[in-house]
Structures are given as C-alpha cells and as structure tokens.
Structure 1
Amino acid sequence: MFLTTLLLGGITILATGLAIGWGDMTGGGDQASELVAAIIWMFIVGLLFSMISQMGFFAYLLVHRLGLGVFKPKLWTWIQVLLIAFVLFDLVYFRYIAFGTELDTWTQFTTLPIILLIVGLIAAFIKAKLTNSKAFIPALFFLTVVTTVEAVPAIIQNDQNWTTMMTTTILVCNLYQLLILQRLTKPIEQKA
C-alpha cells in the first residue's frame, strides 16, 4: 500500500500539473532539459505529498479508534459531523477574511469546499456500500477534514496552482487508501 500510494501521488501531481499548465513550472522556456527537470521535480513533490497523505491516514485511523473509545459511537459520529461542517465553513470564511479583497465575494472561496464535499459524499457512499453503513460518516470526515488539514501548507499560500496540485494529490491518495483498506484487512477465508 505504501509504494502504490507513493507512485499514485507522483503520477497524480504530474497529471494535475499538465492539466493546469506547465508554463509556471518550467520558467516559460522551451528547452527539453527544463521540461525534464520540471517533471522530475514535480514527481518528487508528488511523492512528498503522498507521504503526507499516508501519515494523515494512519493518524486518522488512530484518532478514530480513540474517538470511539472515549465517546459513545453515536456521540463520536455527531462530533465528526460537526467538525465536517466547521471545517467546510472555515474553508470559506477564514480564507475570505485572510485573502479576500474589496472586489472579491465570499462565493469565490466556495469552490474548494464544495469539491471536497462532493468527492467526499460520493466516496463515502461507495465506502458504505463496500463495507457497511456505519463507514459513511468516518469516510466523509476523513476526505473532508483530514484532507483539508493535510493541504493547509498550500491553502495558506493562497496560490491557486499549488492549492490545486497539493489538494488534488492528497485527495486522490486519501481516496485510494480509504477504498483499498477493506481489501487489505479482509480476513483470509479458509478453504473447507
């Protein structure tokens, strides 16, 4: 799982970088060596982002178990729902307060939280279908709250390209880890 997630991070950031344009990354030059250097550099950055994703994933697994142990399962579910709402609100409000200008409206800062919520809802639904209905809220929490926390270094820079590349890479790695986990932890059936 570690190596596949690592490789996925490198490939994802390259695809995202290509999608948003290489001009800023290559310095605008046409030389092949600059392009190769940019590709290698971006791939290494993608590997680093995937490691952040993996650390966050295992940290969340620990926090989730602790939350279930400290609180009753229903209370822990509601705490996660409140934290999801709080983080999505903060992604709009605090980014608007910190980076908004007189010409900006708060709706310009809703794209990232909406994308995280939509992807999180779809993936949480898939996770619940693959495992059980109790996995819906933890999956949604992981894909919205944990992804946001992991992407904070890019979000606070207020650079659209870096925010897109880091958040996309982390989100794809988080999706992969979340959806592959039940296959890795499924008990081996004994042959009768």
Structure 2
Amino acid sequence: MTSRKWVRLFLTTLLWGGLSGVIVSFFAKSDTYAKALEPFSIFEVLGLMFMFLGLGFIFSVISQMGFFAYLTVHQFGLGMFRRIWPLVQVVLIAFTLFDFVYFRYKEADGEVALWTFFVIPIALLIYGLAVSYVKAKETNQKAFIPALFFMVVITSVEWIPAIRANDPSWMMLMLVPLLVCNTYQLLVLHRITGESQNKTEAADTTNQKKSSGNAKSKKKKKKKKKK
C-alpha cells in the first residue's frame, strides 16, 4: 500500500468514526441533548455534537491502531503456528466470548440475570459472522476466520475502556464507531490492495506486449537483411 492510499484510508475511516459517533450520540446520550433543549440553546447543541464528533475521531484512531496491530499479529501467527493458526484463532474467539460473559457476571455479583450478559456477545458474534461472510465472498474462504477474529477479539480489546466504565450509554457510544470503522477497514483493504495489484499486472502485460512486439519487429528486420 502506498503512503497516499494509507492517508486516504486513514482520513475516510476517521470520517466514518466521527459521523457514527455523532449519530449514535443522539440515541445513547439523548438525556444530555434533552437538557440542552430546555431551554433551547443552539450553541450548546452544536457544542455537544462537536464533542461527540471528537470522541468518534478518537474511537476511529483506536480502531485503526487495532487494525494495523492485528495485521502484524496475523503475520506473526502465520509464521509461528502455520497450519493451526486458524484453529488458534477459533479458540481465542471462544475464550473472548466466554470471558465477556463470565467476568461481567462475576462483577455484577448475581444482581442481574445471567441471560442478559449473553445479549451483547451473541450480537457481536452474529455481526462478526455476517461481515466475515462478506469478506470471504469478496476474497477467499481462508479470510473468514481471520475476519471473524478481528471483528470479535480485536473489537472487544478496543472496547475495554467502555466496558470498565460499565455505563450502557458509553458502551454503546464507543461500540458503534468501533464496529463501523473496523468493518470499513476490513472490507476496503482488499479493494485498495487489489487495485494496486491490477495496475501492476496491467503494466506487466503491457511491457510483455511491447517486448514481444519489439522482438517480432527485430526478427522481420533480420529477415529483410538476409534477403
């Protein structure tokens, strides 16, 4: 990937994070907006929107750091575990989902019903499966498990600050931009790298045609000289 494409990916992901942060804030922080509307103050509302836009930018940067860290981890895993790396990723996915339920339930100390702690992990898994299916369909079947690992495990790790706060509104406010940015980066990466590969292949094909054309012209000239 060229530096120009990387900058473009960074800026577009940043934009997606900011926009999703503002949009989800209307639902997750509706009470905060309600206070700004009584009495109505346009400057206070705009101030809140810019604040949540900035938070969306921050969550986007966290997402991008996690994405490039995952690319490094993935290459390291392929080199270390080789053929069993997909199996290792499946085990880590299961371990992450189990911990997501167990530790939050343990922290609640039985005050909340157990089934409520399964809602978010199951929803995250279903969403990850859907994104991974699209990724595998657009690339190859081997990309399914790595994509699912990224959407479940890496998103959960990035989401830890909001989980520790244990505030549903802030958890939702951080989760949505993370999912939007992670999904965008995962699905756009092969398109960006694919474009460069296509250009390289096209250039190679053009060069081959030119070289073959030059070789044919040289042969014709040699035949003429012999005659």
TM bracket (short chain): over 0.9
Quick check: which has more Rg, 1 or 2?
Answer: 2
**Structure number with higher helix proportion:** 2
Q: Give the SS at the match of 1:110.
A: helix
Question: Number of aligned pairs?
Answer: 189
From 69, 73, 85, give the equivalent of 1:76. 85
Q: Does residue 1:98 correspond to 2:140, yes or no?
A: no
Q: Write the distance in 1 (CA, Å) between the matches of 2:56 and 2:82.
A: 38
Aligned positions of 1:15-54 closer than 5 A: 15-24=23-32, 26=33, 28-30=35-37, 31-54=41-64
1:92-131 superposed matches below 5 A: 92-102=101-111, 104-131=112-139
Residue ranges of structure 1 left out of the alignment (5+ in a row): none
What residue identity is the alignment partner of 1:67? Answer: G
Question: Could you say if the C-alpha distance between residues 10 and 65 of structure 1 is closer, same or farther in structure 2, counting changes exceeding 3 Å?
Answer: same
Q: Find the aligned partners of 1:108 and 1:8 in 2 and give their Cα distance.
A: 30
Kept in 1, the 8 Å contact 2:28–2:170? The answer is: no
* 1:45-64 mapped onto 2 (5 Å cutoff): 45-64=55-74
Q: 1:100 to 1:13 in 2, by over 3 A?
A: farther
Q: Which segments of 5 or more consecutive residues in structure 2 lack a partner in the other structure?
A: 1-8, 207-227
Identity of aligned pairs, percent? 47
Cα deviation 1:50-100 (Å, max 9, x = unaligned): 000000000000000000001123x11111000000111111111111135
Kindly state the Cα deviation for residue 20 of structure 1 after the two structures are TM-superposed: 3.1
Shift of the 100–172 alpha-carbon distance from structure 1 to 2, 3 Å rule, reads farther
Query: Considering only aligned residues, what root-mean-square deviation do their CA atoms show, in Å?
Result: 1.3
For 1:156, which of 156, 160, 164 is the aligned residue?
164
Supply the distance in 2 between the matched residues of 1:21 and 1:155 (Cα, whole angstroms): 17
* TM-aligned CA deviation for residue 108 of structure 1: 0.8
Letter in 2 for 1:85: A
Query: Normalised by the size of structure 2, how large is the TM-score?
Result: 0.80
Matched residue, 2:213: none
